[in-house]
Amino acid sequence: MNTPQELRELVFEVLSGIAPEADPTTVDPSADLRDELDLDSMDELNMITRVSERLAIDVPEEDYQRMRTVDGAVDYLATRLATRRT
């Protein structure tokens, strides 16, 4: 569970709720989500909060910048989940 594909789908699902007018699946996975989906700081915080709640992990504020792209979010979340299991 929580494979990179599943994490990507979770990020897309959360983004769809935050920016329903946008199709996050068309976003360049290495592009800054704030620019690609016109997210403001509250949208970004809501995305991080919703993803962290769904996965039952904490994302410290100093790590927020690691979740600004789809690829970055997936890599970061996979690492957090892997370290939680050890």
Q: Which residues contact 58 (CB under 8 A, 6 or more apart)?
A: 52
User: To which CATH superfamily is domain 4-22+30-85 assigned?
Assistant: ACP-like (1.10.1200.10)
Q: Could you tell me the residue ranges of all domains in the chain? A: 4-22+30-85
Summarize pLDDT for 55-73 with one digit per residue, the tens: 999 999 999 999 999 999 9
Furthest C-alpha separation in the chain: 39
pLDDT for the residue numbered 44:
95
pLDDT band, very low/low/confident/very high, at 86 (cuts 50, 70, 90): very low
Summarize pLDDT for 11-61 with one digit per residue, the tens: 999 999 999 988 877 889 999 999 999 999 999 999 999 999 999 999 999
